[in-house]
Structure 1
Amino acid sequence: MKKSKKQQVMFIGMFIPFILLVIGFELGPLLAMVRNSFMADDGVTPSIIQFKTVFQNAYYLQAIKNSVVISFISAITSIVLATICAYSITRFSTKVQDRMMMIANMTSNFEGIPLSFSYIILLGSNGLFTILFSKLGLDVFAQFNLYSWTGLILVYVYFQIPLAIMLIYPAYYGIEQQWKEAAALLGATNARFWFHIGIPYLLPSIVGTFSILFANAMGAYATAYALVGSNYNLLSLQIASLVASDVTLKPQLGSALGVLLAATMLGAMWINERMMRRVRRDL
């Protein structure tokens, strides 16, 4: 039975608040950022001077490089550990799986300043574990510096792994038990099954999750700011300093860096899409 014209109008009208919300809080700021990036420092004169400044300044190029490197390393580390952890979770009972996924959901949202503060309390220069192991004569953290690239990657990995687990975990249920039984009847070992069937089946989910983790790490700001402040040159920290700083307030330049950040994320997603298409074609 077809809907009447009045019902169709009412149905469309229900989506108007959502459309306005998307325009006001997503498309609006995005278009404003793009517009400001093509303005001179006065905010009125159209110009590409901001992008010239970025590409001619080694400091800003280093910020882009550092953000890409740390995002790539944290995403790779998280995806490997999350793939193993997600498989381990599927081996438990349904009740235990539900509880573990609830914990993963909770920890994936534990980031930013609270997460950095927690790590400082536990593993900082005067952290609980640092002092405890020192008192016991165990120099476990003697060579570890939380306020370094290693510490920053460790904190990133903490909130990336639970997110990756929640994204990869459902894919394991697409692997049918009949596949394993058929492979076993043909003489395949468990390792050969995962190498030839299981991992190729999971690969699109793994690659898609990697792109999400990469973008998530690229845009992380509060965690890095609370942990290292301005001691390390990251793209998100540079954008914040140019937009909100009282000393170097240059919103147009910050918008240009924001556009490059968005372009980097879109580029990662485009590469991911190309890889997923190739994987699906080869399967």
Structure 2
Amino acid sequence: MAPAAPTAVRAGVVRRVTTWVTAHLGLVPFLVYTGVFLGAPVVMVLLGAFQDNDGVFTTDNIASAFKDQFGRSFATSIELSVLTAVLGAVLGAVLAQAVLASKEDGLLRKFVSSASGVLANFGGVPLAFAFIATLGSIGIVTKALKGLGFDIYASGFNLFNFTGIAIVYVYFQIPLMVIVFTPALEGMREQWREAAANLGATKWQYWRHIAGPILLPPFLASMLLLFANAFSAYATAYALTSGVVPLVPIQIGSLVSGNVVADQQNLGKALGLGMIVVVALVMAIYNWMQRRASRWLG
């Protein structure tokens, strides 16, 4: 009778393995898709960043990616991403709080929620064209203001420089902040406010000692998500400036499209690797903050 026990154990293991495979079978198409369109390109970028034209290992590409105009492009991209992430996070959080303060089934909340979903994904060349037609040198708003005696371009405004790109980025950063930060605001329990009021806390004390510390992790996490969103944007900035403003995605696009520095064909991959590292670091911090926030808001 002794052999029966190992047979039963093997049967149990087989059943557990079969159950696990069956339960996760639906993940196979997703894993194949991400492996082909995300994993493989990342591996190719990683390998190419450390190879010269002949396939020999080298670190020259990495060194060149952070020098001269390429180093400046990283600095400019980070500066633009930080600026638009902070502005988008603050303005988006204020808008989200204002919307939640309105009627739950009211028209305002439905309109803002629907508009945020559309505008957060409205980018690229169409967004650049919309701003050029509105705030360009011969845009509708520009001509209207000029007719009123106020020439914004004569006063120093320019849609086709760093400031113009920042304005356009904030346009889609604000609705994205509304989408990602609204669940955190909805997770705030009314009982916490009532308990604070019963203990004699003012509205300012409630936000300073209760709501503020609870909402800070999701707010910072949302800001990091906005940073990654702006850091990786390409088409809008290129359509606006034609590459005049040095940004990392534009530099990569220039190198990949054939404008290659002599003997440094893999320099674009080195720049891409730098972007992957920056975005991966930002998203790792984002996930950590989201886990902290879920302790209270879960």
The TM-score with structure 1 as length reference comes to: 0.90
Distance 1:62 1:5, change over 3 A: closer
Q: Residue 189 of structure 2 aligns with which residue?
A: 176
Report the CA distance between 1:174 and its aligned residue: 1.6
Alpha carbon RMSD of aligned pairs, Å?
2.4
Q: Residue 264 of structure 1 aligns with which residue?
A: 278
Q: Residue 34 of structure 1 aligns with which residue?
A: 46
Q: Residue 8 of structure 2 aligns with which residue?
A: none
Deviations 1:119-157 (A, max 9, x none): 000000011010111112234554211111111100000
Deviations 1:82-131 (A, max 9, x none): 11111000011223323321111011011111111100000000110101
Q: Within 1, Cα distance between the matches of 2:153 and 2:206?
A: 40
> Which of 47, 64, 71 does residue 61 from structure 1 map onto?
71
CA contact (8 A) 2:120 2:176 kept: yes
Report the CA distance between 1:276 and its aligned residue: 7.0
Report the CA distance between 1:190 and its aligned residue: 1.3
Distance 1:5 1:206, change over 3 A: closer
Once the two structures are superposed, the pairs formed by residues 1-283 of structure 1 within 5 Å of their partners are 8-42=20-54, 44-55=55-66, 57-95=67-105, 96=107, 97-140=109-152, 142-143=154-155, 144-245=157-258, 251-272=265-286
Deviations 1:176-213 (A, max 9, x none): 11211221222222122112111211111101111111
CA contact (8 A) 2:134 2:142 kept: yes
CA contact (8 A) 1:204 1:280 kept: no
What letter matches 1:40 in structure 2?
D
Report the CA distance between 1:273 and its aligned residue: 5.8
What letter matches 1:225 in structure 2?
Y
CA contact (8 A) 2:145 2:151 kept: yes
Partner secondary structure for residue 25 of structure 2: helix
Q: Within 2, Cα distance between the matches of 1:33 and 1:104?
A: 34
Q: Within 2, Cα distance between the matches of 1:175 and 1:61?
A: 43
CA contact (8 A) 1:76 1:210 kept: yes
Distance 1:12 1:65, change over 3 A: same
Structure whose alpha-carbon radius of gyration is higher = 2
Deviations 1:39-79 (A, max 9, x none): 1023x222222112223x31111011000001000001111
Gaps of 5+ in 2: 1-11
Partner secondary structure for residue 125 of structure 1: coil
Partner secondary structure for residue 255 of structure 1: helix
Q: Within 2, Cα distance between the matches of 1:19 and 1:132?
A: 53
Q: Within 1, Cα distance between the matches of 2:91 and 2:38?
A: 33
Q: Within 1, Cα distance between the matches of 2:226 and 2:33?
A: 26
Report the CA distance between 1:17 and its aligned residue: 1.9
Q: Within 2, Cα distance between the matches of 1:4 and 1:265?
A: 38
Percent identity between the aligned chains?
A: 34
Report the CA distance between 1:4 and its aligned residue: 7.8
What letter matches 2:131 in structure 1?
Y
Report the CA distance between 1:16 and its aligned residue: 2.0
